């Protein structure tokens, strides 16, 4: 799906905007799956008296808005990963057939193969991002999956085990990502090393190393994606619109190399050498995460990031 010119551009600027990776059928499959999940959550919270009774024409976005403005956690039940701490046997997460089909979509894997080769594992450092209007977000909210994301490099949010791993991030738009509603901003260029990060409310590049001069916005339409080299600095703008902006972070690394979060499960998404190792059943993926949740709920905390705030550049 990528041309040689695309690959050369990716190598030169560290990222690539690719339109129309997912067609309407694939997009609607994901949207429908999340609508069912939202209906189940809303019905539960209605019984608990947390949300008003829905009207006949109330859809996904209206229900989500009630949940968001109600001040209780709607985000984690939607996420395709576990939080960084406080994991219990009841911690919600979502692993369903439509999301699995999205993560193993042929068009996406074709692009990834052109950049890292044919032996591809789905990396467990993945998230859904459904971002409300920034003006309505509580000042105490700091999660990068909900508010504007600080500048960072994706290698910077892995553990040291993956410093030599070859991987890419596919930032996939489910709704149009515009400058107004908080699309990504990218520092174009060929970065050869990891910049110092600090663990503030988010893990982000230290202030004195921020790439301010060559930052450009990267809008993309629903179904399109931005593919990143792991050392390319990027973040997101604030959502200044009145609506929500929805995307997924999907990451892929060369099979056999460390994932950067080895206490979370990965799986083989494509293998030209050993196609029999490819995972085809979403229920196996779901069970892998359920088993991981149980194990981590009953073990000592394992850090998900390497950075602290004790370095001089974090002062």
Is the model's pLDDT at 304 over the cut of 90? no
pLDDT score at 78: 96
Is the model's pLDDT at 143 over the cut of 80? no
Please tell me what DSSP assigns to residue 152.
B
Which pTM was predicted?
0.95
Q: Is 12 inside any structural domain?
A: no
Is the model's pLDDT at 145 over the cut of 90? no
Q: Is 70 inside any structural domain?
A: yes
pLDDT score at 184: 95
Q: Is 7 inside any structural domain?
A: no
pLDDT score at 310: 81
Phi, psi of 173, rounded to the nearest 5 degrees: -85, 125
Q: Is 310 inside any structural domain?
A: no
pLDDT score at 307: 86
Share of the chain above pLDDT 70, in %: 99
Q: Is 2 inside any structural domain?
A: no
Question: Quick one: average pLDDT of 297-302?
Answer: 94
Question: Quick one: average pLDDT of 173-180?
Answer: 97
pLDDT score at 146: 75
Of the listed ranges 59-68, 187-196, 235-244, the least confidently predicted one is: 187-196
The answer to whether the CB of 235 falls within 8 A of the CB of 150 is yes
Q: Is 292 inside any structural domain?
A: yes
Q: Is 236 helix (H, G, I), strand (E, B) or coil?
A: strand
Question: Quick one: average pLDDT of 189-202?
Answer: 84
Looking at the structure of the chain, the number of domains it has is 1
pLDDT score at 43: 93
Mean pLDDT of the chain: 93
CATH classification at residue 194 = 2.60.120.620
Number of CB atoms found within 10 A of residue 239's CB: 25
pLDDT score at 214: 82
The answer to whether the CB of 104 falls within 8 A of the CB of 30 is no
Phi, psi of 158, rounded to the nearest 5 degrees: -100, 170
Domain that holds residue 209: 18-298
Q: Is 6 inside any structural domain?
A: no
């Amino acid at each position: 799906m990528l041309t040689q010119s695309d690959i050369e551009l990716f190598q030169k600027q560290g990222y690539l905007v690719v339109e129309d990776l997912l067609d309407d059928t694939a997009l609607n499959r994901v949207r429908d799956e999340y609508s069912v999940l939202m209906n189940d959550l809303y019905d539960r919270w209605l019984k608990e008296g947390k949300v008003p009774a829905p009207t006949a024409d109330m859809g996904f976005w209206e229900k989500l808005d009630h949940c968001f403005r109600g001040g209780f956690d709607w985000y984690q039940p939607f996420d395709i990963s576990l939080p960084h701490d406080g994991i219990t046997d009841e911690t919600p997460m979502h692993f369903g057939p439509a999301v699995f089909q999205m993560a193993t979509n042929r068009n996406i894997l074709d692009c990834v193969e052109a950049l890292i080769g044919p032996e591809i594992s789905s990396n467990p450092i993945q998230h859904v991002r459904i971002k409300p209007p920034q003006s309505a977000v509580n000042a105490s909210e700091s999660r990068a999956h909900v508010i504007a994301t600080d500048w960072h490099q994706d290698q910077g949010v892995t553990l040291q085990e993956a410093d030599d791993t070859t991987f890419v991030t596919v930032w996939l738009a489910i709704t149009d990502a515009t400058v107004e509603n908080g699309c990504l901003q990218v520092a174009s260029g060929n970065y050869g090393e990891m910049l110092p990060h600090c663990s503030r409310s988010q893990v982000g590049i230290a202030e004195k190393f921020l790439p301010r001069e060559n930052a450009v916005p990267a809008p993309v339409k629903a179904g399109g994606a931005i593919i990143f080299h792991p050392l390319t600095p990027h973040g997101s703008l604030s959502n200044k619109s009145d609506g929500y902006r929805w995307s997924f972070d999907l990451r892929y690394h060369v099979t056999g190399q460390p994932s950067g979060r080895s206490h979370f499960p990965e799986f083989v998404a494509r293998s030209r050498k050993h196609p029999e190792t490819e995972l085809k059943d979403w229920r196996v993926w779901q069970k892998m995460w359920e088993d991981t949740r149980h194990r981590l709920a009953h073990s000592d905390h394992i850090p998900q990031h390497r950075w602290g705030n004790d370095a001089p550049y974090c002062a």
